[in-house]
A and B are shown apart, each in its own frame.
Chain A
């Protein structure tokens, strides 16, 4: 029986293949098939997070951005500079409930500059 592959090794392998120029869709299909075959589908989210972490270490950052209005291109560039990415890929979410500002989630870091968060921080100063 083959030894169980760790999630980190899988993530590292996927990252290397993506960096080598393999097609992302093909690689991810292969990973999905592997996880289904190994009965480890519950690890899918964690694995994606690990892959994003490995890619971020190589300068390819996948960031989740939440804002009240869609981000302008110049703001996207600013975000790229902020997270130190050579190649930035954004997953944008627009939600008016945040009132204003934006929240950025990158592997291992989180910047929350939404007005909703600031108001919540203000309320949290209650004694």
Chain B
């Protein structure tokens, strides 16, 4: 038999006549229960609560840590998104600048090529004009020379046939007067 059962039986056999008995309260049992409760509370506070609280604290810390990490991750994600947007925006600006620059360079190249072609064309025209002038001058010279040749030849033929002593005398007289 257990100690508690023996105690209960002993109590039941003893006479009772105080207030606790009148109320139906066994004060010994009450004290015992109080002591047992205190001991239980002490045991729980000594061995169970610390580990339990430690586990709860740990769990809470883990949850808080997780929440913090999640928050950090969210913030990081937000920052990353901002950075991505910033990078995208920068990339768009860069692309726009590159496009504008390429367009300007293309325009400049086209203008330069156009100017060069124009200069070249003018040069070719000038050369052609110069060549034409040379040809004209050469043709004029050739015509002049041929004319002189023909005039000399014709004069020689005509004079050869028409010249006589009388005419020769006149020619000589004129030449002498001219020389004087």
Taking Cβ atoms with an 8 Å cutoff, the residues of A that contact B are 67-72, 75, 78-79, 81-82, 99-102, 111, 113, 115, 119, 122-123, 125-127
Contacts and interface: CB of A to CB of B under 8 A. Distances in A.
B101 interface: no
Interface stretch (B7-15, B29-37, B156-164): B156-164
A67 B151 contact: no
B163 A75 contact: no
Given A78-B176, A102-B175, A68 B145 contact: no
Name the 6 nearest CB pairs between A and B, nearest first. Answer: A113-B175, A126-B145, A69-B165, A119-B152, A69-B168, A78-B176
A119 B173 contact: no
Contacts of B148: 122-123, 125-126
Given A113-B175, A126-B145, 13 more contacts: A68-B168, A75-B172, A75-B176, A78-B172, A78-B173, A82-B179, A100-B159, A100-B168, A100-B172, A115-B171, A123-B148, A125-B148, A126-B149
Interface in B118-165: 141, 144-145, 148-149, 151-152, 155-156, 159-160, 163-165
B159 A115 contact: yes
A127 B180 contact: no
A81 B151 CA distance: 34
A96 to B, nearest CB: 8
A78 B176 CA distance: 7
| Interface of B: prevailing SS | helix
A82 B156 contact: no
Contacts of A101: 168, 171-172, 175
Size class of the contact patch on chain B = 20 to 34
A127 B144 contact: yes
Contacts of A79: 176
Contacts of A69: 164-165, 168-169
B176 A99 contact: no
Contacts of B178: 113
Nearest to A99: B159
A64 B12 CA distance: 201
A54 to B, nearest CB: 24
A126 B142 CA distance: 9
Contact of A71 (B144, B155, B156, B172): B172
Given A68-B163, A125-B148, A119 B172 contact: no
A122 B155 CA distance: 11
Nearest to A125: B148
A67 B164 CA distance: 12
20 contacts: A68-B163, A69-B168, A70-B165, A71-B172, A75-B172, A81-B180, A82-B176, A82-B179, A99-B156, A100-B168, A101-B171, A102-B175, A113-B171, A115-B155, A115-B159, A122-B155, A123-B152, A126-B145, A127-B141, A127-B144
